[in-house]
């Protein structure tokens, strides 16, 4: 028989009763292992180029190997990469952002059915940050959606199998579209000197490119699509290389060659900076059992969209509950300023959050050290009644980040983002103007 009084290693004291698959809250620590490189996980066209650039660790994202560290810890590690990003310019291998193309006479209608925002409002050669939800209102993916033409959209996907879902949905809907992955691989050029480097690569037209606007261009004989977007909170661009399996080296070396005069450095995607900007990471801060209303994405659920979309009934019911002052979820994502020693690398666990009297109530999803704020910052889940700005909490950090072994560090709920971004999100812009950001 099971001893029901014995504490469970998955910490059931944190209420996840509204999830079918609770997050694993076991505190296993780093558990070092060697990653097996094999043919069942795809290598991107830039994989070997990342190895040349010094990549020493990786993870798996969208069933592809994903570089996640170039500067060794003894040389400054992730915080040295952070310095390059916020002070100069950086190049990221983000080919794991698979490009799913929806093309055909019904492309607009199909895309409008699967995203929560209004696809008809996206003009050709423009993009938007979007979400796709299941019928329960859970977030399936949060891609940047690029509209190249009236009948062509690209989903630049986050870490879930969106291609199969889109194809499966259309088995029943039968829109007149082709849905397929493209041989397109993006890189990101991010940092305060990114515009100067991009002008050097593509000419002065870059200076007129608006946020989320697209531009066709040529680089070293390669056809590319450029967008002014990024995952950093800094100024930046994405360069989408067509026929990437053929031209990866030509484009990569062209960027490195021109970038040298700007102090360009190849780094991993900057999770330390995206946390400060309040940018979410799918699978870490949200997943298919997370509602947009839990993670500050209510602006992605319009009140006035005419066309129906998948998840609409559930999302509108959730919003009605919230408007009535009733909260239909156990936990809400908040920003935290935390004590403790500087967190300068990825967290291997969802670290536990407690109330001031020591009761476990939630968990941290994305923590890091902020040099500008001179404290640790984090995104994390807490009960709704503990989510107000200024709420005092405690966090159980690993020993390496505490002055006293076993002692919880102080944490305070604060506004997101933690520091200004080059391009404020739609939510931030709406809050600043005083309008309802769910319209």
Q: Rounded to whole angstroms, how far apart are CA atoms 209 and 196?
A: 13
Domains for the chain: give ranges and CATH numbers.
184-263 (3.30.1360.120), 279-433 (3.30.1360.120)
So what's the pLDDT on residue 134? Answer: 98
Helix (H, G, I), strand (E, B) or coil at 202: helix
Q: Rounded to whole angstroms, how far apart are CA atoms 331 and 385?
A: 9
The pLDDT tens digits of the residues spanning 158-200 come to 999 999 999 999 999 999 999 999 999 999 999 999 999 999 9
Q: Per-residue pLDDT tens, the chain, 439 aa: give them.
A: 445 556 666 776 899 999 999 999 999 999 989 999 999 999 999 999 999 999 999 999 999 999 999 999 999 999 999 999 999 999 999 999 999 999 999 999 999 999 999 999 999 999 999 999 999 999 999 999 999 999 999 999 999 999 999 999 999 999 999 999 999 999 999 999 999 999 999 999 999 999 999 999 999 999 999 999 999 999 999 999 999 999 999 999 999 999 999 999 999 999 999 999 999 999 999 999 999 999 999 999 999 999 999 999 999 999 999 999 999 999 999 999 999 999 999 999 999 999 999 999 999 999 999 999 999 999 999 999 999 999 999 999 999 999 888 889 999 999 999 998 887 765 565 555 544 444 4
Dig out the tokens for 10 from the structure: 């998955």
Distance of CA 352 to CAs 103, 196, 359, Å? 45, 43, 10
What pTM, to 2 d.p., does this model score? 0.94
User: 45: phi > 0 → left, psi -120 to 50 → alpha, else beta; which?
Assistant: alpha
- Please check if 238 is assigned to a binding site: yes
Average pLDDT of the chain, as a whole number: 94
Distance of CA 386 to CAs 325, 349, 358, 394, Å? 15, 22, 14, 12
Q: For residue 90, what are the contacts with CB-CB under 8 A and spacing of at least 6?
A: 81, 84, 188, 189, 190, 191, 264, 265, 266, 267, 270
Classify burial at 292, counting beta carbons within 10 Å of its beta carbon; exposed 0-12, middle 13-18, buried 19 or more: buried
Tell me how crowded residue 344 is: count the other CB atoms within 10 A of its CB: 18
Instruction: Give the β-pairing of 360-370 and 352-354.
Output: antiparallel
So what's the pLDDT on residue 78? Answer: 97
């Amino acid at each position: 028989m099971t001893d029901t009084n014995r504490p469970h290693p998955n910490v059931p004291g944190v209420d996840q009763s509204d999830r079918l698959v609770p997050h694993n809250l076991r505190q296993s620590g780093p558990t070092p292992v060697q990653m097996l490189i094999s043919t069942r996980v795809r290598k991107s066209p830039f994989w070997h180029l990342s190895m040349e650039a010094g990549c020493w660790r990786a993870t798996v994202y969208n069933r592809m190997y994903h570089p996640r560290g170039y500067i060794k810890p003894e040389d400054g590690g992730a915080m040295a990469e952070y310095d390059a990003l916020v002070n100069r310019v950086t190049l990221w291998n983000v080919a794991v952002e698979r490009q799913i193309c929806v093309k055909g006479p019904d492309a607009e209608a199909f895309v409008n059915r699967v995203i929560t925002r209004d696809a008809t409002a996206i003009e050709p050669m423009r993009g938007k940050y979007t979400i796709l939800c299941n019928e329960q209102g859970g977030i399936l993916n949060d891609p940047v959606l690029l509209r190249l033409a009236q009948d062509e959209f690209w989903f630049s996907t986050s870490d879930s199998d969106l291609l199969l879902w889109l194809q499966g949905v259309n088995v029943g809907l039968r829109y007149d579209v082709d849905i397929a992955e493209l041989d397109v691989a993006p890189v990101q050029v991010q940092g305060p000197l990114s515009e100067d480097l991009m002008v050097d690569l593509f000419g002065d037209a870059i200076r007129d490119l608006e946020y989320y606007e697209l531009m066709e261009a040529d680089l070293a004989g390669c056809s590319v699509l450029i967008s002014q977007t990024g995952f950093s909170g800094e100024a930046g661009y994405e360069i989408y290389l067509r026929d990437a399996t053929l031209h990866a080296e030509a484009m990569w070396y062209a960027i490195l060659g021109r970038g040298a005069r700007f102090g360009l450095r190849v780094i991993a995607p900057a999770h330390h900076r995206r946390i400060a900007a309040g940018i979410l990471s799918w699978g870490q801060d949200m997943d298919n059992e997370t509602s947009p209303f839990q993670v500050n994405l209510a602006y992605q659920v319009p009140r006035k969209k005419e066309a129906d979309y998948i998840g609409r009934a559930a999302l509108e019911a959730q919003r009605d509950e919230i408007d009535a002052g009733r909260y239909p979820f156990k936990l809400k994502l908040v920003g935290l300023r935390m004590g403790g020693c500087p967190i300068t690398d990825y967290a291997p666990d969802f670290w536990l959050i407690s109330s001031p009297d020591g009761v476990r109530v939630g968990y941290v999803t994305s923590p890091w050290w902020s040099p500008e704020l001179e404290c640790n910052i984090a995104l994390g889940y807490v009960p709704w009644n503990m989510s107000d700005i200024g709420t005092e909490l405690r966090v159980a950090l690993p020993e390496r980040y505490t002055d006293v072994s076993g002692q919880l560090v102080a944490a305070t709920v604060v506004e997101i983002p933690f520091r200004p971004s080059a391009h404020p999100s739609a939510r931030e812009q709406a809050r600043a103007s005083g309008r309802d950001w769910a319209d």
